[in-house]
Chain A
């Protein structure tokens, strides 16, 4: 007899038990009831129209089929209604007289994003050394993003293949690192530097580079910049501070290693490795058996950076470092794909972020 019924009605009938079970409250049940057996626009109403229009010889069979369907739906609805009403009563009963043998209800849990959590942690680690947080805009000028940092005018990073520029404002770009916060902060504090006794801060934030999205690249990512300006600051202070901070972060047995490197805004420059926090430097997949992982780039401030901000490099000196947050988060968590940090799946966030 089913051949007399339209396909979508049969489909609706197949879906009925699932839809019924999904009704979590009486309101939802009422809506389902309306859709199946309501007076107008429901599946049942459509069937009645169908029956009216059917040729005489089909009427008997069709009528039987329709009645079968309707009866099934009505019985189901009724049973679920009884169930839900009982559940509501039960709920009220449980709410008014608490049974300590039952498990307690647990409120929903949210989570901070793992990248934010890591940045918060870095701020926490540097706070006791007198560092505060400075921030700057993401839309920057070429002057702050490049020129103030001793980056030569023809540096390849300035090319539109590497850096995003704004259509209506050709002089504006999306900052490619958090280093322009150095420039802004130095320009701001330069007149008061003596009174402040130098400056030390972290600059966490989002940065942009024109990279295609893949498991290890993202056009937006996060950096944490650190900077210190004072009197007679040398490489020993950079090493001392980073050793303190990285031990606070990874544990007291952590060792650090400086290797010479080059960034236009520092001199001397270095890369900093940390003894592998995952294998206690015994050698593993993450440190490729070497016991060391590269964690950040740093160096003493290039005199041109201080001069740009109007600070006398004969009197003041300092250091800066820059750290990739995603890179570090991926290394520590062994997350195989960078894109997971931007997909925002609650299962990932709940497991990775949590709450401090």
Chain B
């Protein structure tokens, strides 16, 4: 909200002594940070950030109240010449509890326009002056005192006025020229022909004040905040009035604002008052709140006294009654955010200044909890992959249906993971796979000239279920381009599927995941993080005896068919050997050459045996024979 410095000083004269910077700091210390300062109409205008709970501060007067309380300085008096009330000239019926109070006046307009200084004030606030005194005065009062008012063209109102719920389907053309179809939850001002204004939000076009207007009917009411908020939202109609009524206006200001408006129309436009009257009465005052010393001291963290608290709250306009160890506090009519003792404690601290809050570390009351195994596993996994040369990515959790379908499991129906209001089709499905996102990032890197791309992401993927999508932390990995060749020891070669299987093996996955071709020379796989081996929960695992006897290593060179799956052969060989002595079995070399029989390759298998005794050559020979026999059963032959 814009606050003009001179207009603020008119409400709190002591503010004139502060320069703009000091004023900004003062407002920030009260909870109203200044986002920027503009220079308009020869004065500094402050863009003040006002939180949603402080509707009372949304005016120069409201801001002045805060400054006055902080500086312990008086506000300028607010005393318009009182308007004598009489019998209603137009009957006003309040038919809904959402409008308990409606002050009004009927005036005949004379000649004259909006004074230059009032126009300049409005322009400084980035509001336009219409040159119509009734409109400009209402607008000026809103910014100066915070209470929205409205002026109708009295000659265009038919019969009695009522404040009532709309009849569903009723139409109203609002001031912005838009035809609104109303709902039964919308509160309206109506005459006998139908709605003439959306209560607290915007006036109607049919009764608006124009240059031809001779008589005006003023409205200065109080509307229920929830009702106004709902109507503003329903019709996407957020106005200066709806902001203030929606956050809670000051009911005590309704008649004051009416009197101020009458006074301005008399002086600006030579208007004569035909009558003033009020329907309804002030809504019930918020009940008082009790603040105990214990609560005050607990929140403040230092021995503040109730007397200090009472003094601060009084400065904010509260009526305070002191008990033996409590205060009973009646908040002022303009504050709707002092409902519980915590609110009062905050007010005391705020006025005192948060800079006085002491700094204390809270005592430990229980032993710290451990980091969960899942969390630690993911941290370790990310570090491990980074050390293996992979870059961690962060990509959006929603992707296009096509990107999802390319890699997500076929039984993971996208319908259960689709957003009703996505940013666009390309961000509409909670992803069932990380591979599409990794593919995009990898291809982008390759297009940008990367020689090799190594990416991984650890993030949830979503699985449709009857109660909504389940989430499963998933590791996705992509690797492509040219590997090696960056130094004289490693030859350059394209990244191959086998490289990814090697990573999967290195991570300790029991079953190797399916490696997918993501693009030209680009591969990837994904696995649930839960499939990775977990770190043991014991701080030091239980002791397992190991053999100190020497191990025996033997090589076996086999001729096997091209296309023979390695895992099958290795498993068959392992199965043929006593598990307690076989320490390791692996393929250490692959040889393919035209000197070998057509369709065959040579694998050099290395086996290591160990036991709780020194092994004898003959028993190792026996095991090697069994291993060979198992390989032969799968079509392998010993290579001479």
A139 contacts B462, CB within 8 Å? yes
Tell me if B397 and A138 are in contact (CB < 8 A): yes
Is B541 at the interface (CB under 8 A from chain A)?
A: no
Count of A-B contacts judged by CB separation below 8 Å: 276
Q: Which of A320-344 contact B (CB under 8 A)?
A: 341-344
Residue of chain B at shortest CB distance from A196: B366
Q: Does A198 belong to the interface (CB within 8 Å)?
A: yes
Chain B min CB distance to A320 (Å): 13
Minimal beta-carbon separation of B444 from chain A (angstroms): 7
Is A270 part of the binding interface, using a Cβ–Cβ cutoff of 8 Å?
A: yes
Query: A42 on the interface (CB 8 Å rule)?
Result: no
Instruction: Verify B298–A237 contact, CB threshold 8 A.
Output: no
When A137-B471, A154-B226, A262-B51 are in contact, do A132 and B369 touch as well, CB less than 8 Å? yes
Chain B 228-272 residues near chain A, CB threshold 8 A: 229-230, 233
Q: Which of B79-87, B208-216, B357-365, B544-552 contacts A (4 or more CB under 8 A)?
A: B357-365
CB-based contact B397/A206 at 8 Å = yes
Q: Which residues of B contact A241 (CB under 8 A)?
A: 361-362
Is A15 part of the contact surface with B, judged by Cβ < 8 Å? no
Q: How far is the CB of B71 from chain A (nearest CB, A)?
A: 16
Q: In the complex, what distance in Å separates the CA atom of A200 from the CA atom of B450?
A: 44
* Stretch in A2-10, A23-31, A60-68, A278-286 with 4+ CB within 8 Å of B: A23-31
Chain B CB within 8 A of A147 CB: no
Cα of A231 to Cα of B28 in the assembled complex, Å? 31
Pair A139/B469 contact, Cβ less than 8 Å: yes
Q: Pick the residue among B386, B421, B444, B485 that contacts A210 (CB under 8 A).
A: B421
Interface centre among A243, A260, A271 (most CB of B within 10 A): A260
Chain B hits for A228, CB < 8 A: 362
Chain-A contact segment, one of B120-128, B375-383, B532-540, B562-570: B375-383
CB pair B420–A139 under 8 Å, yes or no, is no
| A71-79, A176-184, A346-354 - the one binding chain B | A346-354
**CB–CB B487/A105 < 8 A:** yes
A208 proximity list for chain B (CB < 8 A):
397
Do A268 and B33 touch (CB < 8 A)? no
Contacts A172-B468, A244-B361: A268 and B51 contacting too (C-beta < 8 A)?
Answer: no
Chain B interface residue count, CB cutoff 8 Å, equals: 101
Give, as a whole number of angstroms, the nearest-CB distance from B75 to chain A.
21
Asked whether, in the complex, the Cβ of B53 is within 8 Å of the Cβ of A262, the reply is yes
- Count, chain A residues at interface, CB 8 A: 102
The dominant DSSP class at the A interface is: mixed
A239 to B340, Cβ gap below 8 A? no
B391 lies within 8 A of A317 (CB): no
Question: Which of B229, B355, B491 lies at the interface centre, i.e. has the most chain A CB atoms within 10 A of its CB?
Answer: B491
Report if A261-B490 is in contact (Cβ < 8 Å); known contacts: A110-B385, A138-B460, A240-B360.
no
B418 contacts partner chain A, Cβ-Cβ < 8 Å: yes
Residues of B17-43 whose CB lies within 8 A of A: 28-31, 33
- Taking the closest CB of chain A, its distance from the CB of B464, in whole angstroms, is 8
> Which listed segment binds A: B129-137, B342-350, B579-587, B588-596?
B342-350
B372 interfacial contact with A, CB 8 Å: yes
Stretch from B89-97, B170-178, B281-289, B299-307 forming part of the interface with A? B299-307
The answer on a CB contact under 8 Å between B391 and A130 is no
B470-500 vs A, CB cutoff 8 Å, 1 = contact: the mask equals 0100000000001001111111111000000
Query: Which of A206, A243, A268 neighbours the largest number of chain B CB atoms within 10 Å of its CB?
Result: A268
Q: Contact check, B51 vs A164: say whether CB atoms are below 8 A apart.
A: no
Q: Assuming A172-B468, A237-B360, is B390 touching A110 (CB within 8 A)?
A: yes
Contacts of A43 in B (CB 8 A): none
Q: Determine whether the beta carbon of B233 is less than 8 Å from that of A25.
A: no
For residue B494, which residue of chain A has the nearest CB? Answer: A28
Chain A residue at minimal CB-CB distance from B459 = A206
Q: How distant is the Cα of A231 from the Cα of B294 in the complex, in angstroms?
A: 13
Contact across chains for A167 and B418 when beta carbons are under 8 A apart: yes
Q: In the complex, which residues 127-178 of chain A have their Cβ closer than 8 Å to any Cβ of chain B?
A: 127, 129-133, 135, 137-139, 154, 156, 159-161, 164-170, 172, 174
Q: A132-B372, A260-B349, A303-B342 are in contact. List 13 more A-B contacts (CB 8 A).
A: A88-B491, A105-B489, A115-B394, A116-B382, A154-B233, A166-B430, A172-B469, A234-B300, A235-B300, A239-B357, A240-B360, A260-B29, A342-B396
Question: What are the 7 closest A-B residue pairs judged by CB atoms, nearest first?
Answer: A197-B366, A236-B301, A260-B31, A108-B389, A24-B492, A197-B365, A268-B346
